[in-house]
Structure 1
Amino acid sequence: MDGRAVKAILFDLDNTLIETSRAGGMAISKTRELLKTSLGVDDDTASSICDTFKQKLFQESFDPSAGRSIDEVRVAHWEESIQEAVGSCSPPHTLAAQCYSLWKRSRLEFLSLSAEIRDLLRTLRGRYKLLLLTNGEALTQREKVEAVGCDEFFDAIVVGGEHAEQKPFLSIFTLCFNMLGVEAQDCIVVGDSLDTDIQGGFNAKVRATVWISSAGAALPDGSVTPDYTVPTVLDLPDILQQLIEAESSGV
């Protein structure tokens, strides 16, 4: 770090500004109850179906040119998960569609920008340019952005799925810098993923990277090393103050 002034902050969305994992867990719980009632299965079987769906979601590689929407792909995840658990006794396609609809609707309902984070973003926007940079399928991420009301807090919102490359590739960071009219060394990157947010910031040679690690996990072997690690994005003002002091002292 060279003491240069910070002009812009690039924020990740999921599990950085909003608790996507928590909302997803609550949505899965509601869907598990639907499965138990509809299939007449016990909690273990319903939980197994949900676990299989989550695994398929984690391994998902969506190709919009394949002719199916993301909604259709995820209904198929539920249908396959049910089929794998109950075999030939599986219900019609309509239950998979009901599971997906309940899971999706519930997850969006449980997502929110907390009052504290809203206040933080308002305060920061008075001093810095703010950009939201989120990986993921375009429709899914735009639905989250709309659900939590992100637009008012950012100078720009960039969804990786709308571009040729996502984080950690340099091209999408360069796009963000150009949108804000800043250089890489004017920016800090804040996010919960070492592989995408922090590695991407490192690749782009930003002023500093801030890793949000709510569990206080140790860095994996061979991982990129963030400049700062904090349990919550609400600790960001302390880091910004440190950077201001470093700027003043010429560190």
Structure 2
Amino acid sequence: MHFYRSINTIKAFTFDLDDTLYNNNMIVENAEEKMLKTLQGYEQLRTLKLSEYIAEKRTVLAFDPEIYHDVNVWRIQTIKSLLNKTNIPVSKFADVIDESMNCFIYWRHKMKVPESTHSLLTKLATKYPLAAITNGNVDINKIGLSDYFQFSLRGGEHGRSKPFPEIFDLASSKLNISSHSILHVGDNLLTDVNGAINNGFLACFINIYNQNILHLDDTRCLPHIEITQLPELENLL
């Protein structure tokens, strides 16, 4: 554990989810492959390739740059855009979208949360209020983490995604604790560290690849604390 800045008294914690509380490697990629197979089950999309889906996703983003704040809406609009290029009746779009999104969400939550994460959150939750702030679409209820958190906020659904201020402000408001006393923990230097500090939070960077933070391209400012493994936060108890 490295300290780069002096810290105020910590009164609450907020956590990023993906690659902070569990290994998210290949989870989204696998879920997209399963979703693609579902779409390919329709004759009109039988030859759809993942590269074509990704290209369509970029086209949707170019048309509506703000859509990236909500990854669920972005995915739905991408599927709809693909359907518009087929002869599938518009009346069937909702069914296709529901089936493919349900498939994606099912596989999106097929991850194992380490026991070390459960152990840490159990200990922290006895002393501090905890909350989750994610730019993704993981439902903490589906991965066994809901008991630890007072609430979970998601980009798009609860304001623009990190590092923008709305979602941080809402977390502070819902916790009823000054942002200067909330430690946000995350693995992303731009969305988590820069976002937290620019919005008055304390920041803890979990350096999952154990690289020199001063040599990382995304470093805009130093966090208050740097760790390489989540259980190191027990040192703050």
Counterparts of 1:151-190 in structure 2, within 5 Å, are: 151-190=146-185
| Structure 1 residues 33 and 210, CA gap change in structure 2 (3 angstroms) | same
Rounded to whole Å, the distance in 2 between the matches of 1:54 and 1:234 is 37
State the one-letter code of the partner of 1:114. Answer: P
Deviation by residue 1:40-67 (Cα, 9 ceiling, x = unmatched): 76xxx83433543665688774399xxx
Name the structure 2 match of 1:115.
115
Query: CA contact under 8 A between 2:21 and 2:230: conserved in structure 1?
Result: yes
**More displaced, 90-99 or 186-195?**
90-99
Rounded to whole Å, the distance in 2 between the matches of 1:28 and 1:165 is 24
| Structure 1 residues 165 and 92, CA gap change in structure 2 (3 angstroms) | closer
| Structure 1 residues 124 and 194, CA gap change in structure 2 (3 angstroms) | same
Rounded to whole Å, the distance in 2 between the matches of 1:158 and 1:124 is 19
Larger radius of gyration: 1
Q: 1:13, CA displacement in angstroms?
A: 1.8
Name the structure 2 match of 1:103.
104
Deviation by residue 1:193-236 (Cα, 9 ceiling, x = unmatched): 22221112211333x41122323454216622223333443332
Aligned with 2:67 (options 62, 66, 69): 62
- In proportion to residue count, which structure has more helix? 1
Name the structure 1 match of 2:13.
9
Give the match's secondary structure for 1:119.
helix
RMSD: 3.7
Consecutive unaligned residues of structure 2, counting only runs of 5 or more, are none
| Structure 1 residues 56 and 151, CA gap change in structure 2 (3 angstroms) | farther
Give the match's secondary structure for 1:153.
coil
Aligned with 1:215 (options 197, 209, 218): 209
Rounded to whole Å, the distance in 1 between the matches of 2:40 and 2:108 is 19
Give the match's secondary structure for 2:156.
helix
Query: CA contact under 8 A between 2:134 and 2:153: conserved in structure 1?
Result: yes
| Structure 1 residues 173 and 129, CA gap change in structure 2 (3 angstroms) | same
Name the structure 2 match of 1:124.
124
Consecutive unaligned residues of structure 1, counting only runs of 5 or more, are 84-89, 242-251
* Match status 1:228 vs 2:222: no
Query: CA contact under 8 A between 2:207 and 2:228: conserved in structure 1?
Result: yes
Q: 1:71, CA displacement in angstroms?
A: 6.5
TM-score (normalised: structure 2):
0.69
